[in-house]
Structure 1
Amino acid sequence: MGSHRNALVAAVRQELAEARGTARAVLAAAETARGEAQHRKGLVREAYATCLNQLAAARETARDDIQRRYRSEAVRLAGHLRGLATVSATGAAGAPWRVWAPSEPEPGGRPGLLRIGTIAFEETAALPGLVPLLDAAHLHLAGPPAVLDQVITGLLLRALGSTRPGDVRLTVYDPEQLGGILAPFAPLSPSLVGPGALGSLLDELVEHICRVNEMPGPRTEPWRLVVLLADRATAAEMTAVQRAQLDRIVRNGVAAGVHLLVRGLDLEEHASVERIVVSERTAYCDSLGPLAITLDPPPPADRVAAFCKAAADRLRAGPAPAKLSDLEPPKFWAASSAYGLPAPIGDCTDGTMVEVPLGDEFPHALIGGPSGSGKTNLIHVWLGSLATRYGPEELALYLLDFKEGVSFARYAPGSRDPSWLPQVRLAGININADREFGLAMLRHLAEELRTRSLAGKRHGAGTLAELRAADPDGHWPRIVAVVDEFQALITGRDAVAEEAAGLLEDIARRGGPQGVHLILASPDTIGVQSLAGCFPLRIALPKARRILPDDNLAAAVIPRYHAVVNTASGAAGANRIVRLPDAGDRTVWRTLQRRLWRSRPVGCEEPRLFDGNAVPRLPAAYRAAASTLEPGSSPGAVLGERIDVAARPARLRLGRMPGRNLAVLGARTDEACDVLSAAALSLAAQGPAHFSVICLAPEAERAAARLVAELPVADWYDSSDVTFDLPAAEVPHYVLGYALDAAGPAHRESLRALLDTGPERRTHVLGWWRTVPRLRDDLGGLNAGFDAIGAWVALDVPGADLTPLYPQPGGPVWYPRARRALFFDRSVHRTPEVIIPYEVNSDHT
């Protein structure tokens, strides 16, 4: 008897040790492989059922004193089991109803087991009784219909409450009560299938499974949870075809995310079917063997209704955007851009990040969406993701916004925030009326492309990666040019649109291998189809038109803060739906930008900010004597700022050649005075000079007086003593005339003589005439030539009125606009250029 008892003790001890070892091994594996959620769920699920059965077997084998002796071992094993249950049924999937609340899975997490009751052990407190469902099994329930309906209600609430709203689509077949037993779920708008429609439902499910299985990559469709509440008539009337379709769903549905909860209808024997047999208060299921599960009471009806209403409200509002911080890499600026600029812009439905593969294979991107769809937000998100991965040595950004807004101003230093994004080289805002600035940026990129091409030929390199390897000491970052509302730049029938379209097409075709990339955003591609072929990478926002082909309707159904990423020129099979963060929180963005700004390398220059609504002031270097001219060089009068990338001044060289005079034309007094003042002050800063200021317009007297006060040597003339018979000076002499057309016929001969012969004597006239006809009168009338005026600045003068001063018939294409002028120097220009007159005479300058 003693030997028998010892053998029994040894057997029980061995069984308990094996069960405990299995639990510990599974817990260690789950902790180590935490990131592999689906694999972990499978391991924990198997371990949970295995350990429960081993514990039950040990309990049955042990007797009396043996059971007491190993009670502590059983308690410890039960603790491990409780830990496994907690891992496998987290939050709403396993919480008791008294503390139940909905919970969402972590990004990348997969569904676990669902609680239906508890399993009692004498050695320890009750353990949760869990069954598989989503991504694991179909459930076949047998027993009293009223109890089964309560179990089904609880399972549905746990499945819906532990997933995101919209991740599970509910379908109910209920020929007797037409879904009445699931009435609390009505706010979620489940699909109700009535009598006679079972065959159609099964056919639709089979087609859905086939379609999901044919899709490349991971499944993105929501789970289909199909509740079949069959009666005797349904089972008796099923045809052979319907039975075959049901068997196909059983065999293939789980892999495609289609799951059945069946009551009253037999299912074929298959590994994916979990059978649950229910009595009044107890249930047995396949995975737990002989262990009895004491069923939980049904969830309170008011709690089910409240949850479904809240979930429906969230579903209608659309999912909350992801966080901008979710896109940040573990370490800033650790990535190399040698082969591309892949960066995530959001997550997909299962929480995994979606990368945009900008680089050699997909060199450019086209973004489409109507106004208000989130194009600017997407650009901010993308730039933030790029800026955290690639440092200023790896990435250079050029940003243009042709909307009436300042969305890119955040990347440049401002009065409230001195930080800037270190990768940004240029930002243009409020440029909807300044297409010339967009053209200037494209010219700059074309020149950079030419430079890289020549460097590649010298080093025998055909791509940027090869050039960087052959020239490691060179500075070759990838360049990304972002143009929002780019269609404003290339639509129209003028020289700017024609040249811009040609440059865009050239950069799009040749820029990728050299590391020059375009991101173009537009509400519609109409009018720009010639460029669309260069952009296989497309990103469509809600309600986008013509960005994707007509047979790709994905953009029509996605909600706010979502986008369709497509790398096959819009082909429907290449769609990836991405959920975008909200980059509108300026506090969050400012915090990120300041972190990057503080880490900027030594010598990192702040970006050039061009604001179309801002008026540049005359730089201090042109207001005071800062330098003298080099021998043999001609003085240069600064007239305004050129609309280009480098913010260079527009200069007029005043040498000893005929015609080296300037005419400022137009009726805008303030701007005309600013042009003359900027010219005079910049000339005075270049060395000794004599100035004669003639003011014949009362509205210009204040500006003229300020100029005289600031010039080192200046004579003042007004209408009482106006004269153009000025004495010769030993230094350059500049005659500044305000409203010279008011001098009258008595002074025309002397004015004409000064214009004709003055430049040879180093005397130059910089005068303001309020109209072109008045200038013509002063030069000799209708048949007079304009040779004495070698350069002019037109303010509010239409292009057609400038025909007499322009070498080509019809005059220049010029539509006057505020604080812009057309500058033409016949010794330099083939066509006029638009400039911005500096602000000189305002009170704060």
Structure 2
Amino acid sequence: MGNHRNALVAVVRQELAEARGAARAVLAAAESARGEAEHRRRLVRDAYATCLNQLAEARDSARRDIQQRYQLETARLAGNVRHLAALSASGAAGLPWRMWSPTEPEPGTRPGLLRIGTLGLDDAVALPGLVPLLDAAHLELSGPQATVDGMITGLLLRALGSTRPGEVQLTVYDPEHLGGTLASFAPLGISFVGPGGLSGMLDGLVEHICRVNETVLAGEYVSLADLTAAGGGSRTGAGPRPEPWQVVVLLADAATAGELTSAQRAQLDRIVRTGVACGVHVVARGLELAEHPTVRRLAVRDQTATCDLTGDLEIRLDPPPAADQVAAFCRATAERLRAGPPPARMSDLEPPKFWSESSAHGLLAPIGDGTDGAGGLIEVPLGDDPPHALIGGPSGSGKTNLLYAWLAALSTRYGPEELALYLLDFKEGVSFARFVPGPRDSSWLPQVRLAGLNVNGDREFGLAMLRHLSEELRMRAQAAKRHDAAKLSELRVEDPHGHWPRIVAVIDEFQVLLAGRDAVADEAVTLLEDLARRGRSQGIHLILASQDVSGIEALWGRSGLIGQFTLRIALPKARRILADDNLAAAVIPRHHAVVNAESGAPGANLIVRLPDAGDRTRWRGLQRRLWRARPAGCEEPRIFDGDAIPQLPASCRPSGPVPSLDAPVGSSPGAVLGERIDVAARPARLRLGRMPGRNLAVLGTRVDEACDVLAAAALSLAAQGPAHFSVVCLDPDAGRAAARLVAELPSADWHDDLAEVPVLDRPHYVLGYALDAVPSPEALRRLLTDGPERRTHMLGWWRSVARLRDSLGGPGARLDAIGAWVALDVQGADLAPLHPQPGGPVWYPRRRRGLFFDRSVHRTPEVIIPYEVNSDHA
């Protein structure tokens, strides 16, 4: 029994122990589970916190990104708005008052918007607040009277400051303050209307609108803005505004606004509906305007305003301009108005598109603007009627400036295929040098075919140009006859592939060409008369300019010549250009001209204000634009410069191997003596055939020129074939030039006396320097007489005609052995023994000119320019 109890106790103990162990295991498991759960809770909390942090960071990042994008987009849009505002309200229309100054618009530009303040989107972005007015809108303003009045003052100042003086006319209806509100604008001639004048003012505006519609727009244009942009239908492009803007300021208070009669209200409504198209604009304070698309309404508070154009955006108003700023502007503008409008600029004469006109039926180009009050450019015609122009005015009256303006207008309208210019200036200067290539500018005016510079001493070149034009007239007349055409326009239709531009020849100070009683003046006036009579039908037009035509002897008895010049342009104080009873030129001021297309008859005058067309920089810019647009094949103009010394052409110098003396040579080689004064700049040649008298005498005391004539002759002969040269120099001053020539000639020898010169049976030329000092005159006479038939020719220099005669036997000696001569500083009367005309030729010796006569070719001598051959003349 005891054992049994013990065993039972042991079993119970064992079970209790196992139960405690199980309980401990359960507790351990529970503890472990609690720890795991806590760990999981911590993980969840940490993940949640992390997510919250990431969400917060994402939110902050998104906010920053959105803010940055917003700022970038706002800056971009604000920049676009500012750019558009700068285009829409440029210069005086949009500048802040601290930077403000009046700005004159370019011709043809339409008025833009006017600044009244700034649009504040936020503290960082401020944009110009702009409203329309001229050519766009009427304005209705409501709000505190003082603020509105300051705003109107600013609007008017901007409108006046961004247009030309006189283009905006102000009318103010101010019944409360009787004009005192805008009195600072009084110097501009502002019209103030009193309390009883409203009806008359409105009626007058309605009549003005009717007149503009009927006589100005005439159903062809919708508005004055369109008419101005089209240039009023003229060929000159956008020009002056045909009618000024009428800005009507109605300063009404509440009481006055209610007092409008039904008639007044009806007239005001008509003005609102039709005024903008006709340049009439209403700016109303305290007065309601009728509903219309052109009406803009502004609600003004103390410092801000809203406009139906900008919606809910508030405009922070600019302060009104300072009173002294308004007064200074009005005084300056009034002074400009009293002085009259400024003259047209050279750029105003340019068409909208270069070279867009045809010259088939004539030439039409402006030279300045009119002074009759209507403004606008005055266009000058050249064609069948009038065909030619005569310009007159004393020295300093502006002839050259007028020609510059006319040439600028012509050359921008008519291309090189339509117009060819021949320019000749007989003044002591280079007025036309800017139109041809020069050392500082290689461009040229593409229409110029020929230009004569510094020709006051070379009337022969003027004669050469007239001969060239006469030949062109003959060629055109023959072409017209072949095509049965009576005038140039018909010829161009019948011969569309021909080159028939109109030709305009400008001769400044043309009286120089006709000065004196000699062969040059006689032939020149004959050619001028023929060109004037027949040139009109063939498209050749003359523009002659002079100080006074009354004293030109060559025109005496030739009234028909001047009668062909029906277009007369008289500058201030011009004489004998207009009719005797037309005194307009005596009273016009400087920078003006009288244009008369009826031969100067009274009643046909147009007074023109001329632009300043002489600015070289502006001309160079215009010319380079035209030059770059020149067509392919447009050749450089022929330039004759009376001060330039031509060089012996390279083709007149021997080159390559020395030719054999046995090689054949032409029977009549030509010695080049100098450059002829003609359009083609051809060399003057002396043919040296095997005939008696084929010798040359160079006469005069100018050593350098005499040496150049002999050197040019020798070198040009050597370039044509094998020849031998013998040089005899009896003047120490010519020794260096003679030695240099011997060194350059392929075959030459030096002799101290003509007796030493051999007789050769081949081309042989004897060059004699100072032959009046020859010790053996018999040998000289023998060479002169017998040499040519044996192909030996004397090219000699004598220092006077008397010494030449002495060399040939004295006063009674015959001079038949001298078949050709070049006279340098020798008077015409001294040349009588060598010239068939009794008393000798009419010749005025001058530097670097020679008178060349070949009795086998010439009827009268011709003037040549000796080439420069030796560059070391001392």
TM-score (norm 1): 0.68
Residue 613 (structure 1) aligned to one of 643, 647, 666: 643
Q: Does 1:596 align with 2:629?
A: yes
| CA shift for structure 1 position 454 | 1.5
- Deviations along 1:570-599, one digit per CA (max 9) or x if unpaired, are 4445455564655521541453244134x4
In the alignment, is residue 760 of structure 1 matched against residue 789 of structure 2? yes
1:842 aligns with 2:865: no
Correspondence for 2:478: 454
Sequence identity percentage: 64
Residue 322 (str. 1) matches residue 322 (str. 2): no
Q: Does 1:642 align with 2:671?
A: no
Task: Give yes or no for contact 1:464–1:515 (8 Å, CA) kept in 2.
Answer: yes
Alpha-carbon distance in structure 2 between the residues aligned to 1:613 and 1:649: 18
Give runs of aligned pairs for residues 512-523 of structure 1, distance below 5 A.
Answer: 512-523=536-547
2:770 equivalent to 1:739? yes
Q: Once the 2 structures are TM-superposed, how far is the Cα of residue 841 of structure 1 from its aligned partner?
A: 1.1
Counterpart of 2:527 (choices 488, 503, 507) is: 503
Residue in 2 aligned with 1:711? 745
Distance 1:278 1:96, change over 3 A: farther
Give the counterpart letter for 2:327 in structure 1.
Answer: A
The aligned residue for residue 342 of structure 1 is 364
Q: Helix, strand or coil for the counterpart of 1:410?
A: helix
Q: Do the aligned partners of 2:168 and 2:247 also contact (CA within 8 Å) in 1?
A: no
Does the residue aligned with 1:702 lie in a helix, a strand or coil?
Answer: helix
Matched, 1:553 2:584: yes
Aligned CA distance change for structure 1 residues 592 and 325 (closer, same or farther; 3 Å): farther
Alignment root-mean-square deviation, CA: 5.3
> How far did 1:778 drift?
1.3
Distance 1:454 1:690, change over 3 A: same
- Contact 1:346–1:581, Cα closer than 8 Å, also in 2: no
Which ranges of structure 2 fall in alignment gaps of 5 or more residues? Answer: 1-84, 118-126, 139-145, 173-178, 213-242, 252-259, 302-316
1:30 aligns to what? none
| Post-superposition offset of 1:419 | 3.5
Deviation at 1:837, TM superposition (A): 0.5
Q: CA deviation at 1:512?
A: 1.7
Whether 2:704 is the aligned partner of 1:670: answer yes
Range 246-255 or range 645-654, more displaced: 246-255
Name stretches of at least 5 consecutive residues in structure 1 with no aligned partner.
1-84, 118-124, 138-145, 173-178, 191-224, 236-243
**Residue identity opposite 1:535 in structure 2:** F
Q: Which amino acid aligns with 2:706?
A: A
Match of 1:773 among 794, 802, 807: 802
1:305 maps to amino acid: A
Distance, in Å, in 1 between the alignment partners of 2:171 and 2:862 is 67
What secondary structure is seen at the aligned counterpart in 1 of 2:325? helix
Q: Does the CA contact (< 8 Å) of 1:735 and 1:765 recur in 2?
A: yes
What's the counterpart of residue 218 of structure 1?
A: none
The answer to whether 1:307 aligns with 2:329 is: yes
Q: Aligned equivalents of 1:837 and 1:713: distance in 2?
A: 24
* Counterpart residue identity of residue 161, structure 2: G
1:697-737 Cα shifts (integer Å, max 9, x gaps): 0000000001111112222123xxx1346432121221111
Count of matched residue pairs: 696
Structure 1 residue 789 displacement after superposition: 1.4
What's the CA shift for 1:460? 0.9
Cα 1:468–1:630 change in 2 (3 A) is farther
Q: Deviations over 1:189-244 (max 9, x none)?
A: 87xxxxxxxxxxxxxxxxxxxxxxxxxxxxxxxxxx56468899xx9xxxxxxxx9
User: Partners of 1:582 and 1:170 in 2: how far apart?
Assistant: 37
Match of 2:437 among 401, 413, 416: 413
Counterparts in 2 of 1:361 and 1:287: CA distance versus 1, 3 Å: farther
Cα deviation, 1:133-152, whole Å, max 9, x if unaligned, reads x9999xxxxxxxx9999999
- Please report how far the alpha carbon of residue 685 of structure 1 lies from its aligned counterpart in structure 2 after TM superposition: 1.5
- Cα deviation per residue 1:582-632 (whole Å; 9 max; x = unaligned)? 5521541453244134x433xx43221111000001111111169999987
CA–CA separation in structure 2 for the residues paired with 1:356 and 1:278: 46
Contact 2:667 2:690 in 1 (8 A): no
Report the AA paired with residue 639 of structure 2: L
- Mapped to 2, the partners of 1:171 and 1:686 lie a distance apart of 88
Q: Alpha-carbon deviations, 1:487-524, whole Å to 9, x = none?
A: 32223333222222221222122112111122233344
Task: Give the C-alpha shift of residue 407 in structure 1.
Answer: 3.4
Instruction: State the distance in 1 between where 2:540 and 2:379 align.
Output: 19
Aligned pair partner of 1:658 in 692, 706, 712: 692
Shift in alpha-carbon separation, 1:809–1:566, aligned structure 2, 3 A: same
Q: Which of 825, 832, 843 is the aligned partner of 2:861?
A: 832
1:796 matched to 2:796? no
C-alpha contact (below 8 Å) 2:171/2:246 kept by paired residues:
no
- Structure with max Cα Rg: 2
Evaluate the alpha carbon distance shift between residue 129 and residue 673 of structure 1 in structure 2; reply closer, same or farther with a 3 A threshold: closer
Q: Provide closer, same or farther for how the CA distance between residues 545 and 160 of structure 1 changes in structure 2, counting only shifts above 3 A.
A: farther
Q: Do the aligned partners of residues 290 and 354 (structure 1) sit closer, same or farther apart at CA in structure 2, a change above 3 Å counting?
A: closer
Q: Deviations over 1:253-296 (max 9, x none)?
A: 986979899999x9x988889999999xx457899999899799
Shift of 1:373: 4.6
**Which of the numbers 462, 470, 482 marks the counterpart of 2:506?**
482
Between the aligned partners of 1:127 and 1:711, the Cα distance in structure 2 is 86
Distance (Å, rounded) in 2 between the aligned partners of 1:630 and 1:546: 65
SS of the equivalent of 2:616 reads: coil
1:785-828 CA-partner distances (Å, limit 9, x unpaired):
22221211111111122122221222111111100011111221
1:632-685 Cα shifts (integer Å, max 9, x gaps): 741211111100001111111122222222111111000000011111111112
1-structure distance, mates of 2:130, 2:588: 41
Partner SS for 1:342: strand
Structure 2 match to 1:14: none
CA distance in 1, matches of 2:843, 2:205: 70
CA contact (8 A) 1:337 1:477 kept: yes
Change (3 A) 1:392 1:147: closer
| TM-score when normalising by structure 2 | 0.66
Alpha carbons 2:595, 2:605 under 8 Å: kept: no
Instruction: Indicate how the Cα distance of structure 1 residues 547 and 444 shifts in structure 2: closer, same or farther if over 3 A, else same.
Output: same
1:247, 1:573 → 2: CA distance? 37
**Which range moves more in the overlay, 155-164 or 529-538?**
155-164
Query: What SS is found at the alignment partner of 1:505?
Result: helix
Q: How does 1:20-35 map to 2 (within 5 A)?
A: none
Letter of the aligned partner of 1:319 in structure 2?
A: P
Displacement after TM superposition at 1:741 (Å): 0.9
Amino acid at match of 1:818: R
Which residues of 2 match residues 55-66 of structure 1 at below 5 A? none
Q: 1:364 to 1:414 in 2, by over 3 A?
A: same
2:381 aligned residue: 357
How many angstroms does 1:449 deviate by? 0.2
Counterpart in 2 of 1:143?
none
Partner Cα distance (1:416, 1:89) in 2: 41
Corresponding position: 1:400 with 2:428: no
State the match for 1:161 in structure 2.
Answer: 161
Whole-angstrom CA distance in 1 between matches of 2:132 and 2:351:
37
